[in-house]
Amino acid sequence: DTGVSQNPRHKITKRGQNVTFRCDPISEHNRLYWYRQTLGQGPEFLTYFQNEAQLEKSRLLSDRFSAERPKGSFSTLEIQRTEQGDSAMYLCASSHWAGGPRNEQYFGPGTRLTVT
């Protein structure tokens, strides 16, 4: 098991461009989470999936953001018409949820987005 992986690790883009990030969770994990971490702050929840279903979205996830997990495995997070305020580290986490309360989330290394 190689853990949660994210690609790319770094992305520099110009304002107004679209970007897409990918997250590959731990293989047997059915839940996948996206968080955003700005400089000097703790991560903030964006959205999460159980299998392919998106169960919750934060109000931080504006209509320029869309996340998918089409086959219940990897997930993509797309940001359209990027703004400088989107510059942040985007973290992905996964967990195995079997109906009980113990549900540790394992984090990936993150994708650092810089919008110029």
Partner 1 sequence: AQTVTQSQPEMSVQEAETVTLSCTYDTSESDYYLFWYKQPPSRQMILVIRQEAYKQQNATENRFSVNFQKAAKSFSLKISDSQLGDAAMYFCVKANFGNEKLTFGTGTRLTIIP
**Which positions touch partner 1 (CB under 8 A)?**
3-4, 33, 35, 40-45, 48, 55-56, 58, 91, 93, 95, 97, 101-105, 107-110
Q: 93 or 115, CB closer to partner 1?
A: 93
Between the CA of residue 101 and those of 44, 72, 92, 97, 105, what are the distances in Å?
Answer: 21, 21, 20, 8, 12
Q: 8 or 16, CB closer to partner 1?
A: 8
Q: What is the gyration radius of the CA atoms in the chain, in angstroms?
A: 14
Q: 79 or 89, CB closer to partner 1?
A: 89
In the complex, what is the shortest distance from the CB of residue 78 to partner 1, in angstroms, rounded to a whole number? Answer: 20
In the complex, what is the shortest distance from the CB of residue 88 to partner 1, in angstroms, rounded to a whole number? Answer: 13
- Spatial distance between the Cα atoms of 103 and 79, rounded to a whole number of angstroms: 28
CB 114 within 8 A of CB 87: yes
In the complex, what is the shortest distance from the CB of residue 67 to partner 1, in angstroms, rounded to a whole number? Answer: 14
- Spatial distance between the Cα atoms of 13 and 32, rounded to a whole number of angstroms: 25
Other Cβ atoms closer than 10 A to 16: 10
In the complex, what is the shortest distance from the CB of residue 32 to partner 1, in angstroms, rounded to a whole number? Answer: 12
Two structure tokens written together for 109: 């290394």
Q: 14 or 59, CB closer to partner 1?
A: 59
